[in-house]
Chain A
């Protein structure tokens, strides 16, 4: 099937670029034909994935880069986000116990949970020194 509407964005790994990343992916999702509530879901999922890379893969080293690539066909829209930092091990994922985290005064730790809730399919892989999260949502 022909792939249409492919776009890429490379930015420094800094939270100061979060709004640019959100604007980029919202624009791509909108152009793919999503309604605004789905665009918001995709935008938040990408925000969470980008933030995790900045914080955990690169440990706030803003000299590093993150590459985003989006595309869609008539069935689905996908986003791939790549980095060269510390790999995320998806087998270590446990659904967070949010009331317990609140009781312990712990903020955060819910990004991957949100990504999984917001997107239809989420896959992590590492090839060589490149880590990639690939997420998709049906159109």
Chain B
């Protein structure tokens, strides 16, 4: 069975979701549950750390598709970091690099949020 888990690190106004394992149609609902919970708690600055993600299918990509507009409309963003080439290639096939902020690491994402908030 596909294995997948999430660890959330909560900062003052940014949450970092460390995702691990295989994100497919069997496990995508778990990520969706976390996004929903964070959005419902007014947490809109989200960083997803893909360092330990081994595999992604379109069901996983679908979770990012479903929530990005809602999060942005609330003034936040979902920034994606630390993707392996294998995972990045799947995002790239769907043209996601022009639609999402995909960064090298978590610190880049945190800095990007700081830049965006000071520019407002």
Contact = CB atoms under 8 A, between A and B. Distances in A.
Contacts of A55: 25
B22 A19 contact: yes
B104 interface: no
Given A98-B95, A102-B68, A110 B61 contact: yes
Interface in B45-79: 55, 57-59, 61-70
A55 B63 CA distance: 16
Query: Would you call the interface of chain B mostly helix, strand, loop, or mixed?
Result: helix
Contact of A108 (B1, B59, B68, B90): B59
A114 interface: yes
A94 interface: no
Contacts of B93: 114, 117-118
B94 A98 contact: yes
B26 interface: yes
Interface of B: 1-3, 22, 24-26, 55, 57-59, 61-70, 86, 89-90, 93-96, 99
